Amino acid sequence: MKRVKLVVAYDGTDYHGWQVQPNGISIEEVLNKNLSELLGEKIEVIGASRTDAGVHSLGNVAVFDTNHRMPAEKISYAMNQRLPEDIVVVDSCEVKGDFHPRKCESRKTYEYRILNREFPDPTRRRDTHFCYRDLDVEKMRKAGSYLVGKHDFTSFCSSHAEVGLSKVRFLYSVSVKKEDDIIKIRLTGSGFLYNMVRIIAGTLMQVGMGDIEPEQMPIILARRDRVYAGPTAPAKGLTMIGIEYL
């Protein structure tokens, strides 16, 4: 028996998110089905980031145990022969039997992309959120800098999240930069609350429009109440970039 870690990239547009659920096809379900067929065993992966419907990934992590003798390194190639073209296993390797993608300490990186120009770009409509109002990137950058460090992010967490658990998280970095017409908000942290990146992105957009001043960010954090932050930005702009295990 060995434990295998997969690094999984996907275009989330046509999926109902990572997690298996009754009303639509999920990334996890497609992986389970194809791994089970490939290895001749019933496989159920454990995912690191349970991304929402429409969210993309370049490096989500999934783990499973198998008795099959196929070397872990070959599984990525064998899986890519079977998977639909919007899911790709970009790496597979053996890990220790006690490795758990959510419980082991890690740094996760997400990127939120905003296409900021007068008209939409049809070639980037699937992985960017379009905003025609001119956004002030400098203000967004300043606002983002207030989020770096250890904070209670209750204000930036969906009110549908589980009650009672700690909402304290550590953000290592928040960067905001514009490349051509696309503003990229990139966050690296020890962990993220439900919808946290999308709520931060929605709030930074309001800062960019001038509706919130950068200096209000510490106040919004201190309120510990979801109603003070901006709206949850649409899922399609969000990409899980990767996870580094420490």
The only residue of 98, 105, 118, 162 in contact with a copy of itself, by rule CB under 8 A: 118
Please count the residues of this chain forming the interface with a copy of itself, following the rule CB under 8 A: 24
Q: Residues 43, 48, 72, 89: which binds a copy of itself (CB under 8 A)?
A: 89
Q: Which of 123, 94, 129 is nearest to 238 (CA)?
A: 129
Q: How far apart are CA 58 and CA 240, in angstroms?
A: 6
Residue 93 carries which side chain, given as an amino acid letter? C
52 is an active site residue: yes
Q: Pick from 4, 6, 9, 187: which binds a copy of itself (CB under 8 A)?
A: 9
Contact window for a copy of itself (CB under 8 A) among 32-40, 100-108, 114-122, 147-155: 114-122
Token pair listed for 157: 């967490």
- Tokens describing residue 74: 């070959």
Q: Is 114 within 8 Å of 131 (Cβ atoms)?
A: yes
What is the distance between the alpha carbons of residues 190 and 153, in angstroms, rounded to a whole number?
A: 13
The 32-71 contact track toward a copy of itself, x by CB under 8 A, reads ------------------------x-x-------------
SS3 44: coil
**Which residue ranges make up the site for a copy of itself (CB under 8 A)?**
9-11, 56, 58, 76, 80, 85-91, 118-123, 125-127, 239
Residues catalogued as catalytic: 52
